[in-house]
Amino acid sequence: MSRTIAILTGGGDCPGLNAVIRGVVRSAILERKWRVIGIEDGFDGLVGEPRWRELTLDSVRGILPRGGTILGTSNRGNPLAYPVEENGETRLVDLSSEVVENFKRLGAEALIAVGGDGTLKIALALQEKGMPMVGIPKTIDNDLRGTDVTFGYNTAVGIVTEALDRLHSTAESHHRVMVVEVMGRDAGWIALESGIAGSADVILIPEIPFDLNSVCDAIQLRKSRGSKFSIVVAAEGAFPAEGQKVVQVTEAENRGVERLGGIAAYVADEITRRIQIETRVVVLGHVQRGGTPSPFDRILGSRFGVKAVDLIEKDRYGRMVSLQGRLICDVDIVDAVDSLNRVDPDSGLVKSAEALGITLGRPILR
Show contacts with a second copy in window 213-232 (CB under 8 A).
225-228
Asked whether 300 and 220 are in contact (CB, 8 A), the reply is no
Instruction: Please identify, using beta-carbon distances, which residue of 31 and 128 lies nearer to a second copy.
Output: 31
Among 86, 327, 346, 365, binds a second copy (CB under 8 A): 327
**Segment near a second copy (CB under 8 A), from 72-80, 113-121, 212-220, 240-248?**
72-80
State which residue, 97 or 352, has the beta carbon closest to a second copy.
352
Which x/- pattern over 29-68 shows residues binding a second copy (rule: CB under 8 A)? -xx---------x---------------xx--xx-xxxxx
Window 257 to 316, contacts with a second copy (CB under 8 A) = 258-261, 265, 268-269, 278, 280-287, 289-292, 294-296, 298-299, 302-303, 306-307, 309
299 to each of 40, 75, 246, how far by Cα in Å?
24, 27, 42
**Distance (Å, whole) CA 287 – CA 301:** 20
CA-to-CA dists, residue 302 to 16, 65, 319, angstroms: 8, 11, 17
Is 141 part of the annotated catalytic residue set? yes
Regarding 140 and contact with a second copy (CB under 8 A), the answer is: no
Residues in binding contact with a second copy, number by CB under 8 A: 96
- Find the helix or strand (DSSP H, E) in which 230 lies: strand 230-235
In this chain, which of 119, 154, 322, 359 binds a second copy, going by CB under 8 A? Answer: 154
User: How many C-alpha atoms does 208 have within 13 Å on its Cβ side?
Assistant: 27
Q: Which of 54, 94, 101, 148 binds a second copy (CB under 8 A)?
A: 148
**For a second copy, which residue of 73, 142, 150, 359 counts as binding (CB under 8 A)?**
73
Per CB under 8 A, the segment of 109-117, 125-133, 158-166, 205-213 that binds a second copy is 158-166
Residue from 80, 125, 197, 275 binding a second copy (CB under 8 A): 197
Q: How far is the CB of 101 from a second copy (least distance, A)?
A: 25
Closest CA to 77 of 27, 26, 115: 115
69: contact with a second copy by CB under 8 A:
yes
Phi/psi at 317 (5° precision): -90, 160
Q: Is 363 in the site for a second copy (CB under 8 A)?
A: no
Distances (CA, A) of 133 to 4, 111, 170: 13, 5, 50
> Smallest Cα–Cα separation from 305: which of 90, 55, 2, 127?
55
Compare residues 335 and 354 and give the one whose CB is closer to a second copy.
354
Query: Rounded to whole angstroms, how far apart are CA atoms 78 and 94?
Result: 9
Identified binder of a second copy from the candidate list 173, 246, 253, 338, rule CB under 8 A = 173
Nearest alpha-carbon partner for 70 in 96, 36, 103, 99: 36
Residue whose CB is less far from a second copy, 1 or 327: 327
Which are the contacts of 1, defined by CB distance < 8 A and separation ≥ 6? none
The answer to whether the Cα torsion of 77, 82, 83, 85 is positive or negative is positive
* Residues tagged active-site: 141
